[in-house]
């Protein structure tokens, strides 16, 4: 099972990326052999002018992102909540592509500094997943008060969040297994 987490916070001093790193760790502990993170902060993508493949691509890193999306069996969209929605960086990156998402299970993780754990961003990300022709996982991970969730070394110290993460991983693997099974039968 090839899982790809798209980490959608590129802000200096960001907190959401700690959640992405911890989640990747949990997938590995759960036995998922391949879990990768696309850290959008390392790509610095320009605002979309042309989708991937429309002309000869000269944007650094875009081939790499395309390859990772294409190879993924399932994805996680992880974003901070900004002004009641998910990050512009995530939307911009997603908009470069289309076919790479089709019929893939996608889980959403929203991160907020308040008590509501990015609930608005999570709902809008699920809407985005539907628009991509992908399957949004019903169970979503909402991370509230993220500024208190990790210690200075980036270690998770919130027990409730730890339990929610494990539930998210279990649900995600269940859904991905079911969809992979169906695809395998179709190819027999
Ligand atoms: C421009 C901006 C808008 C924000 N809007 C919200 C919001 O609508 N709701 C919320 O819970 N937190 C909001 N926050 C706080 C973020 O959720 C907080 O920064 C959190 O740490 C996750 O984002 P980060 O990965 O950038 O750190 C906002 C932060 C920024 C920078």
Q: Does residue 149's CB lie within 6 angstroms of at least one atom of ligand 1?
A: no
Please state, in angstroms and rounded to a whole number, the distance separating the CA atoms of residues 16 and 36: 16
pTM greater than 0.95: yes
> What's the gap in Å between 29 CA and the centre of ligand 1?
29
Average pLDDT score, the chain: 96
- Per domain, the residue ranges of the chain are 2-186
Please state, in angstroms and rounded to a whole number, the distance separating the CA atoms of residues 45 and 22: 24
Q: How confident is the model at residue 72 (pLDDT cuts 50, 70, 90)?
A: very high
63-77 mean pLDDT: 97
> What's the gap in Å between 182 CA and the centre of ligand 1?
38
Q: Which residue has the least CA distance to atom 8 on ligand 1?
A: 83
The third-level CATH classification (topology) of the domain covering 2-186 is Rossmann fold (3.40.50)
Please state, in angstroms and rounded to a whole number, the distance separating the CA atoms of residues 149 and 143: 9
pLDDT tens by residue, 80-137? 999 999 999 999 999 999 999 999 999 999 999 998 889 999 999 999 999 999 999 9
Using only C-alpha atoms, the chain has a radius of gyration, in whole angstroms, of 16
Instruction: Retrieve residue 171's tokens.
Output: 């649900």
pLDDT tens by residue, 33-66? 899 999 999 999 999 999 998 988 789 999 999 9
Identify the pLDDT of residue 56: 85
């Amino acid at each position: 099972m090839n899982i790809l987490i798209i980490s959608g916070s590129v802000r200096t001093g960001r907190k959401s990326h700690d959640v992405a790193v911890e989640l990747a760790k949990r997938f590995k502990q759960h036995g998922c052999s391949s879990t990768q993170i696309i850290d959008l902060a390392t790509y610095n993508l320009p605002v979309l002018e042309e989708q991937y493949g429309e002309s000869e691509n000269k944007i650094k890193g875009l081939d790499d992102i395309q390859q990772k999306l294409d190879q993924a069996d399932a994805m996680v969209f992880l974003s901070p909540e900004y002004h009641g929605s998910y990050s512009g960086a995530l939307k911009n990156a997603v908009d470069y592509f289309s076919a790479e998402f089709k019929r893939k299970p996608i889980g959403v993780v929203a991160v907020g500094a308040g008590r509501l754990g990015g609930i608005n961003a999570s709902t809008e990300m699920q809407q985005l997943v539907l628009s991509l022709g992908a399957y949004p996982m019903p169970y979503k991970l909402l991370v509230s008060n993220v500024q208190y969730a990790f210690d200075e070394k980036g270690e998770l110290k919130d027990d409730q969040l730890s339990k929610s993460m494990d539930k998210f991983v279990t649900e995600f693997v269940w859904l991905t297994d079911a969809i992979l099974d169906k695809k395998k039968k179709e190819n027999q």
